[in-house]
């Protein structure tokens, strides 16, 4: 069986050894034939027998920066364990386990981590060893916190590091984009910060051009993330977007996205919050689809947040402030507002900026 999908860069074609393969078959391993270019003249030797990686949650869009701005958030994310496995055919990947138990497929062709891992294997030209992958989900699906991107980023970094870290961050973002395009569309505002850490600006998609925005080390920035018990699938939320916008809205959102970038570089959290809250194109279409969201935003700002918007496609609301204690107070008010305004139970987290991105957290040498 051959399964294929396309992206704005190049198509990828996956091959399964079984012509009758069920996408949810639990013990399958897969070889891939990518049209993505193999980057190395010689297949690298494994440096480790196994590795464990972590990739953080991300907040995409940041209000007016739809599809071009994203940021990594510390403390929450996904883990991937990857090992050399002699029971897996050379050049193939098997997903051994996913925890906690979920509806995610163990077929690597239909799993965010699997697609990204296969893409990196192709870039490295891995043909001599088989790999086994285990995914630990720390992020809920459809939360607006970059759940699919965290899985893809952790997997891409794990494969790369297992073979000595030969690929660049941009290469890993491209591998992650192949996963994202399969799941939620070709957008890098989650996968880029998940891999690179910090704030990231996507300057161009064709060709891909990324710019990391350095938030000053001596400045405080706190994210208040409030997630209601409500599912907002990315594809559905993208379908709600307008096909055309007015010139006035284009000019306004452009100015606010520029103001947000300036605030990040200057470490000016109040200005960052004002810009974050200023979207006139995407948020007005999506907020009514999330019960209580408009009231939650109002309450967050009344409680002292410098700004509030929808995280990615939602349903999580994100507010920014400059202290953890104030952040906890804002979070409590936002949780109350979700219940009062939308009838939704919600949980609040107060987290800081992740400046590192996806990384190894454990390894065993060969």
Among residues 92, 161, 178, 180, the one annotated as catalytic is 180
Catalytic residue check, 316 = no
The length of the chain is 366
Strand pairing class (131-136; 29-34): unpaired
Can you state the percent helix, strand and coil of the chain, rounding each to 5? 35, 30, 40
Nearest to 190 by CA among 150, 221, 247, 159: 150
Judged by DSSP in three states, 156 sits in helix
Distance, CA of 148 to chain centre: 6
Catalytic residue check, 246 = no
Among residues 58, 92, 161, 234, the one annotated as catalytic is 234
Peptide bond into 58 cis (omega under 30): no
Torsion of CA 39, 135, 358, 140, to 10 degrees: 130
Lookup result for tokens 């009231």: 295
Nearest to 158 by CA among 117, 129, 105, 196: 117
Instruction: List, edge to edge, every strand of the sheet that includes 346-352.
Output: 307-310, 317-321, 222-228, 346-352
DSSP label at residue 353: B
Gap between the Cα atoms of 182 and 7, Å rounded: 9
Nearest to 195 by CA among 12, 10, 54: 54
DSSP states of 278-327 as a string? --SSSHHHHGGGSTTHHHHHHHHHHTT-SEEEE-TTSS-EEEEES-HHHH
Structure tokens at 107: 């077929």
Backbone φ and ψ of 351, nearest 5°:
-135, 160
Lookup result for tokens 């949650």: 57
Residue 326: how many other CB atoms lie within 10 Å: 17
Catalytic residue ranges = 180, 234
């Amino acid at each position: 069986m051959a399964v294929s999908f396309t992206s704005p860069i190049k198509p990828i074609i996956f091959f399964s050894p079984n012509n009758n393969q069920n996408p949810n078959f639990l013990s399958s391993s897969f070889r891939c034939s990518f049209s993505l270019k193999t980057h190395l003249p010689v297949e690298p030797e494994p440096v480790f027998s196994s590795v464990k990686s972590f990739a953080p949650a991300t907040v995409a869009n940041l209000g007016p920066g739809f599809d071009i701005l994203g940021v990594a958030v510390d403390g929450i994310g996904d883990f991937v364990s990857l090992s050399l496995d002699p029971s897996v055919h050379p050049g193939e990947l098997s997903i051994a386990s996913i925890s906690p138990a979920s509806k995610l497929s163990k077929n690597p062709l239909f799993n965010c981590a699997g697609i990204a891992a296969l893409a990196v294997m192709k870039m490295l030209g891995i043909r001599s060893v088989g790999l086994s992958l285990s995914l630990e989900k720390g992020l809920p699906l459809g939360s607006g916190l970059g759940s699919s991107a965290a899985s893809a980023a952790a997997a891409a970094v794990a494969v790369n590091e297992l073979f000595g870290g030969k690929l660049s961050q941009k290469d890993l973002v491209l591998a992650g984009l192949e996963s994202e395009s399969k799941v939620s569309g070709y957008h890098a505002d989650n996968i880029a910060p998940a891999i690179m850490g910090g704030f990231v600006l996507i300057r161009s998609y064709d060709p891909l051009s990324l710019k990391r925005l350095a938030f000053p080390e001596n400045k405080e920035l706190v994210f208040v993330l409030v997630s209601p018990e409500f599912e907002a699938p990315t594809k559905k939320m993208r379908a709600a977007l307008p096909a055309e916008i007015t010139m006035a809205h284009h000019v306004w959102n452009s100015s606010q996205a520029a103001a947000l970038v300036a605030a990040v570089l200057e470490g000016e959290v109040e200005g960052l919050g004002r810009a974050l809250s200023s979207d006139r194109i995407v948020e007005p279409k999506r907020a009514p689809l999330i019960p209580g969201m408009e009231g939650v935003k109002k309450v967050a700002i009344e409680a002292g947040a410098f700004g509030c918007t929808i995280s990615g496609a939602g349903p999580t609301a994100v507010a920014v402030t400059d202290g953890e204690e104030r952040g906890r107070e804002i979070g409590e008010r936002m949780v109350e507002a979700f219940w009062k305004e939308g009838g939704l139970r919600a949980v609040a987290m107060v987290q800081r900026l992740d400046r590192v991105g996806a990384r190894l957290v454990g390894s065993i040498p060969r």
